[in-house]
Amino acid sequence: MIEADKLTKIFPATKKAKEMRAVDGLSLRCEPGKIYGLLGANGAGKTTTLRMLATILEPSSGTARVAGFDVVDEPEKVRENVGFLSTATALYGRLTAREMVEYFGRLHGLDEESLRKKIDSLFETLGMNEFAGRRCEKLSTGMKQKVSIARTLVHDPPVMIFDEPTIGLDVMAARTIVGFIRQCREQGKTVIFSTHVMSEVEKLCDRVGIIHRGRILSEGSLAELRARHGKQDLEDIFVEVVGDGQ
């Protein structure tokens, strides 16, 4: 379960840029076994929102409860219950695939015995045994994706956060990720993911939030959005909503 309540993030003014309200009073709710899609253009506030939910950034005001813990008061508890994946979350190149996942398992407090069992089964399921002992820097993009997936799953989190997980990936690697997101839903996890690709939203999402300038301008299931805006095509709906906001 994720419940965001008037999340706001203001980046203070610097020499180069003025004060920036990246996320502005954003509230949303994602339920277990459902996929929530955050749809927005570049700079709409998607990454900042997800980073606040993953407690990588602290909200300027407002808060959120993730898996029952408050992101401001108990950030470490939140992180214990979240798997966070984005194309920005790189791997340690000089660790092997197995060491990389082991490291995160240990950081999540797993004891050596259950860590070994968990990794054996993860590597088996994801088909990673063949390159388990190879250094991450030597892996192909697809293999790296699998290591990242194993890294987010090693502590079996009930909440998954994906920040533009398919950006820059080729078709096959992107399919792996999309399949993985579906699997998470089947396992009853709460899933939120951000994207600017309409087709991904249409394929995956149970609920969609269209985000622009840090605010959610329209929200609902795909059917609700279509009914509300009188349009079939999600792209047309998106343009209408965002255009309204300008």
CB of 127 to other proteins, least distance (A): 22
Task: Note whether 1 and 32 are within 8 A (CB).
Answer: yes
- Using CB under 8 A as the binding rule, whether residue 175 contacts other proteins is answered as no
Residues 92-121, interacting with other proteins (CB under 8 A): 92-95, 99, 103-104, 106-109
Three-class SS state of 11: strand
CB atoms within 10 A of CB 133: 10
- Using CB under 8 A as the binding rule, whether residue 217 contacts other proteins is answered as no
Residue from 38, 44, 57, 216 binding other proteins (CB under 8 A): 57
What is the Cα–Cα distance from 45 to 41, expressed in whole angstroms? 9
Query: Both tokens of residue 185?
Result: 């839903």
- Using CB under 8 A as the binding rule, whether residue 206 contacts other proteins is answered as no
What is the Cα–Cα distance from 195 to 188, expressed in whole angstroms? 21
Site string for other proteins, 16-45 (x = CB under 8 A): xx----------------------------
Query: Both tokens of residue 30?
Result: 């994602």
**Per-position b or e across 101-123, b if 16+ CB within 10 A of its CB:** bbebbeebebeeeebeebbeebb
Site string for other proteins, 61-90 (x = CB under 8 A): ---------------xx-xx-x-x-x-xxx
Contacts with other proteins, residue ranges (CB under 8 A): 11-12, 14, 16-17, 54, 56-58, 76-77, 79-80, 82, 84, 86, 88-95, 99, 103-104, 106-109, 135, 151
